[in-house]
Structure 1
Amino acid sequence: MEQTDDAQEHSPKPRPVSRWTKLRRRLGWLTLFSLLLLSGCGFYMLRYGALPAGAIMQSTQIIDSEGVVLASVQGGVNRQIVKLADISPWLVKATVAIEDRRFYEHAGVDLHGLARAAWVDMRHMSKQQGASTLTQQLARNLYLSHERTWTRKIKEAWYAARLEQTYSKDEILELYLNQIYYGHGAYGAEAAAKLYFNKPAKQLSIAESALLAGIPKGPRYYSPHLHPEESKARRQQVLEALLETRQITAQQAEKSAAKPLGIRALPEEQVSAAPYFADYVKKIAIEKLGIDERLINEGGLRIYTTLDARVQRQAEAAVKQGLPAGESELQAALIAIDPRNGYIKAMVGGRNYRRNQYNRVFASSRQPGSSFKPIMYATALEQHAITAATRFRSEPTLFYFDGNRQIYRPSNYNNRYFNGEIGLRQAIAASDNIFAVNTIMQVGPEQVIGMARKLGIHSPLNAVPSLALGTFPVSPFEMASAYSVFAGQGRKAEPIAITRILDAKGRVIYEAHPSTTEVLSPALAYVTTHLLESVFDRGGTGHRVSSLLKRPVAGKSGTTDSDAWFVGYTPELTTAVWVGYDRGRPITSTEAHRAAPIFAHFTEAALADVPPSSFPMPEGVVSATFDPATSLLAAPECPAEWTTEVFLSGTEPTETCALHQDKAGGDPADHGGGGGGRSWWHKFRKWW
């Protein structure tokens, strides 16, 4: 027992665990726990982590009222997204064969290819080996930059794995073939097929598919336009890959290699079917509808518009015909609006968009001249200041205004006057300035400005007598808007260009709801229109083009030292035409007559399929026959030169002419003269 006790007394005692050892153990457990946690998080992220939002840029399409694509707003990107079923299977097979033969076997990252690439990179001490799968390339294009770093490579692999878990192989191929760059601004198979072969991707042959599949590796180097020999060699390489993967036979490969492709020449400049209108649509979408500019440029929107491509072609043809090639600096603008709904049907902002993109339709620096007079006359008719029976002398006249402190001396074109009294219809047809100024002095320029504002003219206007002659600049857009109210029977429809906008997924993000507002009585609009039809009668300023028009038309010309206008309309179409020089250079007498033929040629061509129709007479309009010498209702004894006109109800003459009754003898009362116009003749004419 003693020995045992001694042995126990002398046995070594266990050493106490040091603080350092405890710390190491804790760190070890913590490291193990962290590794397990990171592994778990990594597995969770790999399995369930959300992919970032991918940015597939695609061009926005501007579409006319009949579904015709007018333009693509690319913002540097030409892309049209299509389904995989709408891409030639030969392009799919060629792409897989040359880019990623193990595409259907790997899970996003080809480990064999990755190991080989790493070995090559280490040997050369560089990051020059690619070995990216199609899925990795897609991940890079969608989510990453193209810098060659290991960090990017790791992210690329992770995104590729998530893509494989999220999408099927066919969905990945569809994304890839809509995303990849094919050179010359074309992104995706559809844009590339149209760029190089002028056909949809669905119709690509084996040879065409082989050429396209070879381009993405070096879009510039393998461009058939820039390097045709290298492109041909690359196509052969793709055909061999197809042959090696047994996608085609040797006979097909040989035939495709020898087949000439007929590659489409690159256009010098992409100009839309209606370039000035396309620019206007983009501006409206951004500035008025609040659509983000980047979304317009890259979001693949579909913007449906009011323009009619056929009518637009007729407008461009009329402008081209009306401006001789030798007068290269002479410019023109044309805008056509459907007065029934405000739809802009055609827009020409100049004679050559490639040379000058300035849209003269909205240039508010041009005096409208006499084309402004109908606005003034409509004001006077509405205020009962004048009627169709009103007469003023056409002769040089001084007008005093501003409390008789100022004098205005208007003159007629070439100082031609009738030197006698004329009526309103004759004054409008001949564009008599003296009659116009007499009228504005009767109604007041402030009232005319109020009318202009109601009709849609917002440019600055001063309340002075010269306003009657169109001395304050306005734009063709404003003039077409104003005249559309006359054509629309007094109803104003705000001009619109966009009917609806769809996003890339087909969802409606904007839809127009056009409406009209009555700003003039239908009767006033009709009386004004009826008077403006006389412009095309003999002696009218539009008579020289009357033979070109096969339908009822109303309108008014306007000429200044530097501007020529014609604004006119039918019940279906209002058109404003301006001709002149950008810098306000004076126009010649020949150039002053260019606007009317453009209007006439365009109107008839644009409405070729529309049967002629008259302007309907509404309630509130009466017709009366009167003696122009007296502006009183005609009596049987009056000379044969009677005039029949339309009036706003209540403004027509009510007294019968007594002048000729007295000369013929007899009792004026028998004929209604001076007695309120109650003769049998007056009753008959009123009934008629």
Structure 2
Amino acid sequence: MLLLLIGSLLYLRAQSLPAAAVSQTSQMLDIHGNVIDTFHAGENRRSIKLKEISPYAVQATLAIEDRRFYDHLGFDFKGMARAMLINVQNLSKKQGASTLTQQLARNLYLTHERTWSRKLKEAAYTAQLEMSYSKDEILTMYMNQIYYGHGAYGIEAAAVTYFGKPASQLTLAESAMLAGVPKGPKYYSPYMNMKSAKDRQLTILDVMVEEGMITRAEADKAYNEMLSFQPLSAGNQEGFAPYFRDYIRTVAVDKLGIDEHLLNEGGIRIHTTLDPHAQKAAEEAVAAGFPADSEQQAALIAIDPRTGYIKAMVGGRDYKTNQYNRVFAKTRQPGSSFKPFVYLTALESGMTPLHMFRSEPTAFTYDEGRQTYEPSNHNDKYAGEDIDMRRALASSDNIYAVHTIMAVGPDKVIETARRLGIDSPMDPVPSLALGTFPVSPFEMASAFGAFANSGKHIEPIAITRIEDKNGRILYDAAPEETPVMEPAHAYVLTSLMESVFKPGGTAARVSAAIKRPVAGKTGTTASDAWLVGYTPELVTAVWVGYDKGRTITTAEAHRAAPIFAAFTEKALETVPPKMFPVPEGVVTVYVDPSTGKLAGESCPDKRLETFVAGTEPTELCGEHTDEAGSEESAAEVPAKEKHHSWWSDLKRWWNG
């Protein structure tokens, strides 16, 4: 056995190491096939000597990656045993045991596929490296090879990228911060996740103390040091659709399992759903929506409800200053923009747009009478009379909404929201009707997509296809369409939400800016303002507010709707206006809103209302000069207008 081992080592010693793997630029493409980003288009790397690297950076790297580097021969069998014991104890792979030499062999000569043949090659190349180079030479190659995120390869590029200084000048605190990044640049980069970066910095400092590299006092001082980071370079991090590009990286690596090294060096092509025209419209609408000196933030996401394609994404107003993507922030209350889920539940429970509740200050008891909830309307304005669902939704009457959720049950509303894709935590309490539980703009846009798509929900998609450098398909999206509500219910609710943009509606002030049928719902809380709306081709969620929940003024709250209007009209400027498609099982009849009955000839405020077939009123109003039930009065409701037609809708819309 010993002779076999010696023979194998002599054989490996006589062999030449292969040429290092040549990295290739990967590309991200928009929906038209145009390149919107490249990954590692020419590595940001400058090799330096070991003596040009701060001793702190070397020590921090050895502490976290391979503390026995100078004691083993390329394979740390003691470390392997320790890692195996920890993994068995935790019943999962909590700890690895690859040495620096193994990592270097993998990065220089191999792919990152998990096969036995690759592992055997890695072992052979590791032995060859150890026999061909000194420990200092291997460490130097490693420090110049490793990827630190944000396009920085090697410690010198990382020091300049993060701290604007050469590697020789890195402090203990800076070194411990950088040493933690290579394990997962997405998770441990201070630009992406400061908390995780600080936690890993502390882990590294603790190990350095354990190994006698530094004292506890030095570690504590370094951890508490306030670090000053450089703004990320414009080459990779700014420019067009930066938040979307970051999201694509996250989806590719975390959801689709694309290895980060393959992403950065493998020459793959990622085809995305981004519409450059819509993205430009989104960025311009957000930029124009605020005074230059405003600190208020914003988020916008737009999805094609027919395909689930994410067409545009803006996660904030200044990516260079803050890379936090607010599109996915589950920290903001949706306010009244949540009410459509309440009213959908009501329609499915048998209520109609004519269902009446009184709009006045009301105390609601729940939890078997043990608790009381007293909501109020905006500015304490109440109708002081019975109002119907259309008027309540258009004016965003809170009392009506709470009456409704108490009638149908908060549990059912939560079930409705879950069905449509809202997965944030919610409790079955009356205040749920007013959007008191935080959700993300992403969730709201996804859920509203089902209203726009005739009751069918499609999970949002950002990546349609990924190809390797040879054109082989690594991933091909297969969107699934799931019916989540009856098409008739979706259409009736859409009809109700169209009133939000008409006189008396909370978004009426921007209706003139939108030259096409549109539906949606506004939402305002003390610190958040929303408009979530849609056309047949595009559903958009807009949020404005402050990151730390600062109270917003009335003027600040009014910024969401103009952003939505400007974006929607610009994004669809080349698309002819379309009516919302009318499904089977929908009828429209003239009604008298005050009585909820069919309108007679002399009814002064008759209104054409939309219903799920079978729920429309059948009794003729007789409270005016008409005689209830007379054949003459009944004839005044033309049959052709009892049954919905797209042409009559088009004429009504065209005529205002």
Compute the TM-score of the two structures, normalised by the length of structure 1.
0.63
Helix, strand or coil at the partner of 1:290: coil
The equivalences for 1:46-445 within 5 A come to 52=18, 54-74=20-40, 77=43, 151=132, 270-327=237-294, 329-384=295-350, 386-445=351-410
- Mapped to 2, the partners of 1:624 and 1:65 lie a distance apart of 43
- Mapped to 2, the partners of 1:683 and 1:270 lie a distance apart of 61
Q: CA deviation at 1:621?
A: 0.3
Aligned partner of 1:574 in structure 2 is 539
Distance 1:50 1:621, change over 3 A: farther
**C-alpha contact 1:58 1:77 (8 A) present in aligned 2:** no
Helix, strand or coil at the partner of 2:544: strand
Residue type at the aligned position of 1:507: R
- Mapped to 2, the partners of 1:312 and 1:280 lie a distance apart of 14
- Mapped to 2, the partners of 1:149 and 1:659 lie a distance apart of 98
Q: CA deviation at 1:60?
A: 2.3
- Mapped to 1, the partners of 2:414 and 2:632 lie a distance apart of 41
Helix, strand or coil at the partner of 2:630: helix
- Mapped to 2, the partners of 1:50 and 1:388 lie a distance apart of 80
Distance 1:274 1:451, change over 3 A: same
Name structure 2 gaps, 5 residues minimum: 1-6, 46-106, 111-124, 135-144, 154-232, 645-656
- Mapped to 1, the partners of 2:643 and 2:29 lie a distance apart of 53
Distance 1:656 1:353, change over 3 A: same
Helix, strand or coil at the partner of 2:300: strand
**C-alpha contact 1:672 1:682 (8 A) present in aligned 2:** no
**C-alpha contact 1:361 1:476 (8 A) present in aligned 2:** yes
Helix, strand or coil at the partner of 1:641: coil
Q: CA deviation at 1:635?
A: 2.5
Q: CA deviation at 1:639?
A: 2.4
Helix, strand or coil at the partner of 1:625: strand
- Mapped to 2, the partners of 1:569 and 1:489 lie a distance apart of 12
Matched, 1:625 2:590: yes
Aligned partner of 2:622 in structure 1 is 658
- Mapped to 2, the partners of 1:522 and 1:275 lie a distance apart of 37
Q: CA deviation at 1:549?
A: 0.6
Distance 1:296 1:446, change over 3 A: same
- Mapped to 1, the partners of 2:239 and 2:26 lie a distance apart of 13
Distance 1:633 1:301, change over 3 A: same
Q: CA deviation at 1:658?
A: 3.0
Aligned partner of 1:456 in structure 2 is 421
Matched, 1:562 2:527: yes
- Mapped to 2, the partners of 1:76 and 1:420 lie a distance apart of 70
- Mapped to 2, the partners of 1:480 and 1:151 lie a distance apart of 58
Residue type at the aligned position of 2:612: L
Distance 1:151 1:374, change over 3 A: closer
Distance 1:461 1:76, change over 3 A: farther
Deviations 1:144-168 (A, max 9, x none): 99x9999569xxxxxxxxxxxxxxx
- Mapped to 1, the partners of 2:502 and 2:638 lie a distance apart of 30
- Mapped to 2, the partners of 1:65 and 1:315 lie a distance apart of 16
Q: CA deviation at 1:680?
A: 3.7
Helix, strand or coil at the partner of 1:378: helix
- Mapped to 2, the partners of 1:294 and 1:148 lie a distance apart of 21
Larger radius of gyration: 1
1:639 to 603, 616, 619: 603
Name structure 1 gaps, 5 residues minimum: 1-36, 80-139, 154-178, 188-265, 674-678
Distance 1:303 1:369, change over 3 A: same
Helix, strand or coil at the partner of 2:298: strand
Aligned partner of 1:588 in structure 2 is 553
Residue type at the aligned position of 2:318: N
- Mapped to 2, the partners of 1:378 and 1:267 lie a distance apart of 46
The equivalences for 1:13-52 within 5 A come to 52=18
Distance 1:633 1:560, change over 3 A: same
- Mapped to 1, the partners of 2:394 and 2:496 lie a distance apart of 8
Residue type at the aligned position of 2:43: V
**C-alpha contact 1:366 1:475 (8 A) present in aligned 2:** yes
Helix, strand or coil at the partner of 2:624: helix
- Mapped to 2, the partners of 1:454 and 1:486 lie a distance apart of 12
- Mapped to 2, the partners of 1:686 and 1:535 lie a distance apart of 24
Deviations 1:545-587 (A, max 9, x none): 1111111111111000000101110111000000000000101
Q: Report how many residues are paired.
A: 467
Matched, 1:551 2:511: no
Aligned partner of 2:630 in structure 1 is 670
**C-alpha contact 1:333 1:348 (8 A) present in aligned 2:** yes
- Mapped to 2, the partners of 1:388 and 1:320 lie a distance apart of 38
Aligned partner of 1:257 in structure 2 is none
**C-alpha contact 1:364 1:474 (8 A) present in aligned 2:** yes
Compute the TM-score of the two structures, normalised by the length of structure 2.
0.66
**C-alpha contact 2:620 2:629 (8 A) present in aligned 1:** no
Distance 1:687 1:338, change over 3 A: closer
Deviations 1:264-302 (A, max 9, x none): xx9576425211111111111111111122222222211
**C-alpha contact 2:465 2:473 (8 A) present in aligned 1:** yes
- Mapped to 2, the partners of 1:185 and 1:381 lie a distance apart of 53
**C-alpha contact 1:72 1:272 (8 A) present in aligned 2:** no
Distance 1:669 1:268, change over 3 A: closer
Aligned partner of 1:479 in structure 2 is 444
**C-alpha contact 2:151 2:236 (8 A) present in aligned 1:** no
- Mapped to 2, the partners of 1:457 and 1:286 lie a distance apart of 24
Residue type at the aligned position of 1:282: R
Distance 1:76 1:391, change over 3 A: farther
Aligned partner of 1:18 in structure 2 is none
- Mapped to 2, the partners of 1:669 and 1:511 lie a distance apart of 61
Deviations 1:354-397 (A, max 9, x none): 1111110000010000000111111111111x211112221111
- Mapped to 1, the partners of 2:422 and 2:326 lie a distance apart of 16
1:505 to 470, 477, 486: 470
- Mapped to 1, the partners of 2:643 and 2:578 lie a distance apart of 26
Residue type at the aligned position of 1:462: D
Aligned partner of 1:125 in structure 2 is none
Residue type at the aligned position of 1:351: R
RMSD over aligned CA atoms reads 3.2
**C-alpha contact 2:524 2:530 (8 A) present in aligned 1:** yes
Distance 1:272 1:56, change over 3 A: farther
Distance 1:78 1:515, change over 3 A: farther
Distance 1:687 1:535, change over 3 A: closer
- Mapped to 2, the partners of 1:284 and 1:470 lie a distance apart of 29
